Amino acid sequence: MTTTTAARGLEPTQIGTYDRRAASRARRADVRERWRMGGEARALVFVNAVLLAFGLATLYSASAIVAMQSKLPSYYFFMKQLSGALVGIIVFAVVAKLDAERWRKWAWPLMGLALLMMLVTVLPFTRAIAPPIHGSRRFLLGGSIQPSEFAKLAVIVWTAMLLVKKQEDGTLRRLTKGLFPFLLVVGALAMFAILEPDLSIAMTFLLIMAIILFAGGVRIGHFIALGVMGIPVLWHEAEKLQYVVLRLISFFHPDEKAHAIVSYQLQQSLVAVGSGGVFGTGFGKGVQQYGFLPFPYSDFIGSNIGEEWGFVGLVLLTAFYALYAWLGFRIAAAARTPFQKMVAVGVTTTMVLTAYLHIGVVIGLLPTTGLTLPFISYGRSNLVLSLLMTGLLVNIGSEKQRIVGEHATNPFTP
C-alpha cells in the first residue's frame, strides 16, 4: 500500500518515495538554535539597563545649562547621547546573540584597524579628518569617532587570542617569545595615544593587557622586570607632556597658589561633592554646571552625581559597578573556552576599573585623568563600545540551545 507525502509538506517524486532535499528542508524547519542567558547574564542586563537609564538622566541634568550657555537647546547633549544609546542597544542585542568564539578570528583585523585609526589621529597630514579638539587629536570626523575607545576592545580581544595561542604552544612563560609580542603591538597603540596626547589612555591599554596576561599565567618576575624598566620610560614621556607633570604636582600640593589654575577643576569637583552632603541637593538642583566646573557632563560627571545625589548616590553607584564586576567575573569563571574566559576578564576589568578611576578622581583620591564614567559620561563612542562589550560578556554567560519539534518555529517559546 502506498501513501502520499504531500500531507507532510514534501514533494512526491514517485509512488511511495519523496525528494530527499525537500525532506531535509522540512527537518531543518523543525529545528531552531538560540542563546539562552544564564542567571548572571540576566542580572548583568538589568545592571546595564539601570546604569544606562540613570546615565541619560544624569547627563541631561549636567549638560542642560551648559548647552543653553552655548546658545543650544537644553536637550542638545541629551539627544546626541540618546542617539548613541539607541545605536548601542542595537549593537548590544546583535553581539549578545553572536557566538563570542568568533571574535578570536577577528582579533588581528580588529587590532590592525585600531592601529590604523590611532595612527591617523597623530599624522601631520590628517588634520582635516582628525582636527585638534581642546588641545589634543583624539577624535575623527569632528568628534564623531574616538579611536581609543575602539582600541580598548581590540586590546582585549587580541591579547586574549594571542595569550591562548601561546598557552597552547607552550611559549607563554618565555620572555622573548611569550611577552615581547604583546608589548610590541600594544606598546605601539600606547605610543600613538601618548602622541595625541592622552597618557591616561596609553596607561589604560598597558594595564588592560597586563591584567589579562596576569590572569592567563604569565610569570610575575617578568612583570616586575618590565615594570622596573618601563617606569623611567613612562616618566620620561610624561615629562614631555607639561600638563601631566602639573596635574601630579597640583594633586600633591593642591593648596599652593601657583597650582590654582591646574587644580581648579579638582577643587570645584570637591566643592560639588562636599555640598551634596549625605543625600544631595536633589536632581537638577546642582549649581556646578552653571559654569563653575569645566566639563561637568563628561570628565567630571561624577561630581554632578555627588552634588545632586550625595554620598548615598555615590555609594549606590559604586555598588552597582561592584555588582557588574562580580557578575562579570562569575561569567568568566564559567566561560565555555579559555579565550572567552580571558575576554570576560578583560571586559569586566576595563569597565569597572575605568569607573572606579573616574570616581576616585572626582572625590580627590587620584590625580585628574580625563577618564569617563561608563554608561553615564557624555560620549557616543564610549557608550556604544560599552554596550558592545557588555553584549559580548552576556553572550559568554549564555548557553546555546537547540529546540526541536513544533515549538521550534514559535518565537515565544521560553
Distance CA(365)–CA(281), nearest Å, equals 23
Q: Which pLDDT score is estimated for 116?
A: 95
What are the boundaries of each domain within the chain?
Answer: 38-398
* CB count in 10 Å sphere of residue 233: 10
Q: Which pLDDT score is estimated for 235?
A: 64
Q: Which pLDDT score is estimated for 238?
A: 58
Q: Using DSSP, state whether 34 is helix, strand or coil.
A: strand
Q: Which pLDDT score is estimated for 21?
A: 61
| Contact indicator for 413, 403 with CB cutoff of 8 Å | yes
Q: Using DSSP, state whether 37 is helix, strand or coil.
A: strand
Q: Which pLDDT score is estimated for 233?
A: 67
Distance CA(217)–CA(186), nearest Å, equals 18
Residue 120 CA, chain-centre distance (Å), reads: 21
Angle at the Cα of 159 from the Cα atoms of 157 and 160, rounded to 5 degrees: 65
**Nearest in space to 288 (alpha carbons), one of 71, 134, 55, 65:** 65
Q: Using DSSP, state whether 248 is helix, strand or coil.
A: helix
Distance CA(47)–CA(52), nearest Å, equals 9
* CB count in 10 Å sphere of residue 236: 9
Q: Is 254 exposed, middle or buried (0-12, 13-18, 19+ CB in 10 A)?
A: middle
**Nearest in space to 367 (alpha carbons), one of 260, 194, 258, 250:** 250
Please state whether the peptide bond connecting residue 296 to the residue before it is cis, i.e. omega within 30 degrees of 0. Answer: no
Q: CB within 8 A of 117, min separation 6: which ones?
A: 140, 145, 147, 150, 151
Distance CA(293)–CA(133), nearest Å, equals 19
| Contact indicator for 402, 383 with CB cutoff of 8 Å | no
Q: CB within 8 A of 377, min separation 6: which ones?
A: 55, 59, 297, 298, 299, 301, 358
Q: Which residue has the cell 570616581?
A: 359
Q: CB within 8 A of 13, min separation 6: which ones?
A: 19
**Nearest in space to 47 (alpha carbons), one of 397, 411, 410:** 397
Q: Which pLDDT score is estimated for 169?
A: 84
- The identity of residue 149, as a single letter, is E
| Contact indicator for 281, 303 with CB cutoff of 8 Å | no
Distance CA(316)–CA(194), nearest Å, equals 34
* CB count in 10 Å sphere of residue 182: 22
Mean pLDDT by 10 residues, the chain (414 residues): 43 48 54 82 96 96 92 94 96 95 96 94 86 81 83 96 90 79 92 86 91 87 71 63 60 56 76 92 88 86 94 96 97 96 96 94 82 92 95 94 60 46
- The identity of residue 85, as a single letter, is A
Q: Which pLDDT score is estimated for 41?
A: 96
Q: CB within 8 A of 309, min separation 6: which ones?
A: 276, 279, 280, 283, 316, 317
Q: Which pLDDT score is estimated for 198?
A: 84
